[in-house]
Amino acid sequence: MGNLHLETIESLQAKLREGACSSVEVVQDLLGAMEAVDGQVGAYLSVDAETALAEAAEADRRRADGKAGALNGVPVAIKDVLNVKGQPCTCGSKILEGFVSPYDATVVKRLREAGAVLLGRVNMDEFAMGSSTENSAFRTTRNPWDLSRVPGGSSGGSAAAVAAREAIASLGSDTGGSVRQPAAFCGCVGLKPSYGRVSRYGLTAYASSLDQVGPVTRTVSDAAALLQVLAGADPMDSTSVDAPVPDYREEIKLGMEGLTLGLPAEYFVEGTDPEVDAAVRAAVAQCEALGATVREVSLPHTPYAIAAYYIIATAEASANLARFDGVRYGRRVEGQDPIEMYGRTRAEGFGPEVKRRIVLGTYVLSSGYYDAYYLRAQKVRTLIRDDFAAAFGDCHALIAPVSPTVAYGVGEKTGDPLQMYLGDIFTVTANLAGLCGVALPCGFTAGGLPIGMQVLGPAFAEEQILRVAHAYEEATDWHTRRPALVEETVSSRQEG
């Protein structure tokens, strides 16, 4: 049965239950799709086809025995920052080239328990530091909608694989927008759960107080299905929170009637691409037509968010990446003494963006600068959190653009890191405040590039943002569109 790679989790599960196809056939079809397009897209770093087919066969046996899990037989791609036992975990860096993980991250373990098939490792900016996936040490992933453009980052491989129909769904990580921004650039759904909602055990840390694992999918209901499996406390992660996990798949069906949505004035500003602004405003009007009340709110400390974020994130990175020294694992470049060995290993192993952030983070933590930079940034973080608390006193959720622009050209911003950093202005705030947010398609530019909006909610209110997003998605068809690359591949495979 062909074209199974075009299915969503929801439609695929229905076919599997009905016996219209097998999990093995699904994986075989996806492997064929990868062979057809990944040479152009470059979403995957590694694929273990043999293991994926064996896991699919096991899923088929479980289904036959009546023991199918919540995601039984559904193939999921994994960002190369999450540990999967027996598979490489390079984090997009040469310093971990050849490293094989000895254990499963908790989210991977939960996927396995739900019966999912682990399809392969997808590309990313090195150690999740970047917004375009151009910082990967191994390849530049391309946007399936326009191969001359970036897919976003740092979870660019996760979003590109889903958009190019090389994966039914994928996992990414969001430190300052790294799930939501690539989802917006690639016309997918990207969910950043609240800090503490999903275990970070087995996620290679970039900034420990900001990182959160989240799904990239084709629909909001698929994101809800994945979150249902991933969410919940984990004794292996002291930052995970033992809070009740709602039935997201049911909650999202409640519609938008009676909800109040806020429009942050600071997120609709000069400098935003006019097509992005117009598409998000049209989406807001659609939400009103669906029964929501819309009001303007203010998040007055937003202008300070980028500075605070890049101080806090780099400070935490400088501490977290100290473990990559050539002593215990990963690449080692020998020297005459340990100090020379550390220096040479890191000089060869880390790329320029990682080095830049380590140096910056070490600087802001150093004696004489800690109070002036790091401590002040933490105070700004508190003010940003207070801004959101005030806004959510009057609103159930906020609606805003994901990024001021759509996907830009490969190489367009690599020479000016500050310009790339400024593109995170609408996403870093949710990470600083520990909130949840979901990005979803809300239109296309005249040139055919996806435009994304995000729905932000209070901490541990994922059901509210998913409810808004699902109601909007059901009333529109943006999520049903596919890149020309996919359509061409489907046609050529049918002719073949």
Structure tokens at 109: 């373990």
**365 found inside a domain:** no
pLDDT confidence tier of residue 489, bands split at 50, 70 and 90 = confident
Please provide residue 253's backbone torsions phi and psi, each rounded to the nearest 5 degrees. Answer: -85, 0
Closest by CA to 361, choosing from 322, 311, 304, is 311
Length of the chain: 496
Average pLDDT rounded to a whole number, residues 109-128: 98
Please give the sequence-ordered ranges of beta strands (E in DSSP) within 330-414, or none if there are none: 397-401
- How would DSSP label each residue in 403-417? -SSSPPBTTSSTT-H
On the CB side of 456, how many CA atoms lie within 13 Å of its CA?
Answer: 28
Q: Between the ranges 273-277, 368-372, 411-415, where is the mean pLDDT highest?
A: 273-277
Whole domain around residue 46: which residue ranges?
A: 4-303+380-495
Is 154 one of the catalytic residues?
yes
Residue 366 forms part of a structural domain: no
pLDDT of residue 492: 77
Q: Is 132 a catalytic residue?
A: no
CATH of the domain at 390: 3.90.1300.10
pLDDT band at 496 (very low <50, low <70, confident <90, very high): low
Q: Tell me the residue type at 271.
A: G
Question: 491 falls in which pLDDT band (50, 70, 90)?
Answer: confident
Lowest mean pLDDT among 11-15, 197-201, 325-329: 325-329
Residue given tokens 């769904």 in the structure block: 169
Percent share of the chain, pLDDT over 90: 95
Q: Is 209 a domain residue?
A: yes
The active-site residue, picked from 101, 154, 158, 170, is: 154
Tell me what pLDDT residue 166 has. Answer: 97
Average pLDDT, the chain: 96
Predicted confidence at residue 328, as pLDDT, reads 87
219 pLDDT exceeds 70?
yes
| pLDDT at position 1 over 60 | no
Expressed in percent and rounded to 5, the helix, strand and coil fractions of the chain are 45, 15, 40
Instruction: Supply the pLDDT for residue 68.
Output: 94
Contacts of 270 (CB under 8 A, 6+ apart): none
Residue 336 domain-assigned (yes or no) = no
Q: Kind of pairing, strands 397-401 and 450-457? A: antiparallel
pLDDT at 294 over 60: yes
69 pLDDT tier (thresholds 50, 70, 90):
very high
Q: How many helices (H) and strands (E) does the chain have?
A: 17, 11
pLDDT digit string (tens) for 401-412?
999 999 999 999
DSSP category for residue 204: P
Statement: the pTM of the whole predicted model exceeds 0.95:
yes
- What pLDDT score was predicted for residue 329? 86
* Side chain identity, residue 90: T
399 occurs within a structural domain: yes
Q: Which DSSP state fits 321?
A: G
Calculate mean pLDDT across residues 283-307. 98
Structural domain includes residue 326 = no
Name the catalytic one among 22, 79, 136, 192: 79
In the predicted structure, residue 290 carries a pLDDT above the cut 70: yes
Picking from 303, 314, 418, the residue whose alpha carbon sits closest to that of residue 369 is 314
Examine the residue annotation and report whether 79 is marked as an active-site residue of this protein: yes
For residue 258, pLDDT beyond 60 = yes
Instruction: Determine, yes or no, domain membership for 88.
Output: yes
β-bridge mates for residue 262, sequence order: 295, 398
Active-site choice (178, 194, 199, 221):
178
Are 481 and 201 a contacting pair, CB within 8 Å? no
Q: How far is the first Cα of the chain from the last one, in angstroms, to the nearest whole number?
A: 14
Residue 260 and residue 402: Cα distance in Å, rounded? 20
Q: CA dihedral in degrees (292, 293, 298, 302; nearest 10)?
A: 10
d(CA 305, CA 307): 6
Q: What is the pLDDT of residue 495?
A: 66
Tokens, residue 20: 């219209």
Flag whether 372 is in a domain: no
Cα–Cα distance for residue pair 482/319, rounded to 1 Å: 42
- Domain count across the chain: 1
